[in-house]
Amino acid sequence: MNSELQARIEELVQNNKIVVFMKGSKLMPQCGFSNNAVQILNSLGAPYETVDVLQDADIRQGIKEYSNWPTIPQVYINGEFVGGSDVLIELYQQGELQQMVEVALAS
């Protein structure tokens, strides 16, 4: 990944309390896993941003290298990589995701 792309991704991750790199948008998810992430975050009522990787091939590949995680969606909270859809579901079911979101929004 070139330094310009890395800087673009870092800016998105650092400048948003919660950001989801996904297929589609929060209003129109383009895959089931992205939809899962959106539904979970919507249920928490937390404000978040999305980046549609289908609109930018560089971001689509670059985010996988940035996180060293092979799949989309990817969720970042407070600049930290949380995981994909399966991890989000698990954290949500355990009640940990709500705490992470509250801490992020309070900081």
* pLDDT tens per residue across span 9-61: 999 999 999 999 999 999 999 999 999 999 999 999 989 999 999 999 999 99
Report the number of distinct structural domains present in the chain: 1
Render pLDDT for 97-107 as a digit per residue (tens, 0 to 9): 999 999 999 98
State the pLDDT at residue 59.
97
Range of the domain at 75: 3-106
Token output for 25: 């948008």
- Please report which confidence band the pLDDT of residue 90 belongs to, taking 50, 70 and 90 as the band edges: very high
- Edge-to-edge strands, sheet with 74-77: 49-52, 18-22, 74-77, 80-83
CA distance 67 to 98: 22
* CATH code, 91: 3.40.30.10
Count of beta carbons in the 10 Å neighbourhood of residue 20: 28
Q: Are 41 and 48 in contact (CB under 8 A)?
A: yes
Token output for 80: 């930290």
